[in-house]
Amino acid sequence: MDMTNQQPIARTERKIASNILKGSLGNMIEWFDWYVYSAFAIYFSAAFFPSNNQTAKLLSTAAVFAIGFVMRPFGSFVMGRYADRHGRRAALTLSVMIIAGGSMIIALVPTFSQIGIWSPIILVATRMVQGLSLGGEYGTSATYLSEMASPQRRGFYSSFQYVTLIAGQLLALLVQIVLQQMFNEQQLYAFGWRIPFVIGAIGALVVLWLRLTMEESDQFKHANKHNKRSGTLRLLAKYPKQVLIVIGLTLGGTISFYSYTTYLQQFMINTAGMNKEVVAIVNFAALLVMIVLQPVFGALSDHIGRKPLLVFFGVGGTIATVPIFTLLAHVTTAWGAFLLMVSGLILVSGYTSINAIVKAELFPAKIRALGVGLPYSLTVAIFGGTANYVALWMRSAGIESGFYWYVTATIFISLLVYIFGLSHKNDSLIDREEAEMYGK
Domain final position from 218, 253, 280: 218
Q: Does residue 253 sit in the same domain as residue 149? A: no
CATH number, domain of 400, equals 1.20.1250.20
DSSP 223-268: HHHH-SS-S-HHHHTT-HHHHHHHHHHHHHHHHHHHIIIIIHHHHH
Q: Residue 58 pLDDT > 60, yes or no? A: no
Helix (H, G, I), strand (E, B) or coil at 363: coil
When pLDDT is cut at 50, 70 and 90, the band that residue 6 belongs to is very low
pLDDT score, position 2 = 41
Q: Would you place residue 293 in the very low, low, confident or very high pLDDT band (cuts 50, 70, 90)?
A: very high
Render pLDDT for 119-173 as a digit per residue (tens, 0 to 9): 888 888 888 888 888 888 888 888 888 888 887 888 898 898 899 988 998 898 8
> What is the number of other CB atoms lying within 10 angstroms of the CB of residue 115?
13
Do residue 70 and residue 149 come from a single domain? yes
* Region for 354 from its dihedrals, namely left if φ exceeds 0, alpha if ψ lies in -120 to 50, beta otherwise: alpha
Looking at the structure, do residues 166 and 236 belong to the same domain, yes or no?
no
Residue 192 has pLDDT above 80, yes or no: yes
Residue numbers of the domain that contains 133? 9-218
Considering the domain architecture, whether residues 291 and 356 belong to the same structural domain is answered as yes
Look at residue 286 and tell me whether its pLDDT is greater than 90. yes
Domain contains 4: no
pLDDT score at 53: 56
pLDDT band at 223 (very low <50, low <70, confident <90, very high): confident
Indicate if 265 and 331 belong to the same structural domain.
yes
Q: What is the torsion angle, in degrees rounded to the nearest 10, for the CA atoms of residue 148, residue 242, residue 350 and residue 403? A: 140
pTM of the model: 0.84
The mean-pLDDT minimum among 60-64, 110-114, 241-245, 311-315 falls in: 60-64
Q: Are residues 246 and 180 in the same domain?
A: no
Indicate the number of domains in the chain.
Answer: 2
79 and 149 part of one domain: yes
Within this chain, do residues 247 and 372 fall inside the same structural domain, yes or no?
yes
| Same-domain pairing of 264 and 210 | no
Question: Which of these, 50, 51, 43, lies nearest to 112 by C-alpha position?
Answer: 50
Question: In which band, very low, low, confident or very high, does the pLDDT at 227 lie, cut at 50, 70 and 90?
Answer: low
Residue 91 and residue 29 in one domain? yes
pLDDT at residue 247, as a whole number:
95
What is the average pLDDT across 270-281? 82
Per-residue pLDDT, 89: 87
In this predicted structure, what is the pLDDT of residue 272?
A: 84
Residues 375-391 have a mean pLDDT of: 85
For the cut 60, the answer to whether the pLDDT of residue 54 exceeds it is no
Q: Decide if 235 is inside a domain.
A: yes
Choose the final residue of a domain: 159, 183, 218: 218
Structural domain includes residue 225: no
Helices 401-421 and 240-258, packing angle to 10 deg: 150
226 within some domain: no
Last residue of a domain, one of 218, 253, 288: 218
Q: Do 420 and 294 share a domain, yes or no?
A: yes
Dump pLDDT digits (tens) for 317-347: 999 999 999 999 999 899 999 999 999 999 9
At residue 269, the pLDDT reads: 82
The per-residue pLDDT for 352 is: 94
Assigned domain for 224 exists: no
Is 251 in the same domain as 212? no
2 in a structural domain: no
Task: Give me the mean pLDDT over the 85-112 stretch.
Answer: 88
pLDDT, tens only, 393-416? 888 888 988 999 999 999 999 999
Helices (H), 40-87: 41-48, 54-70, 72-86
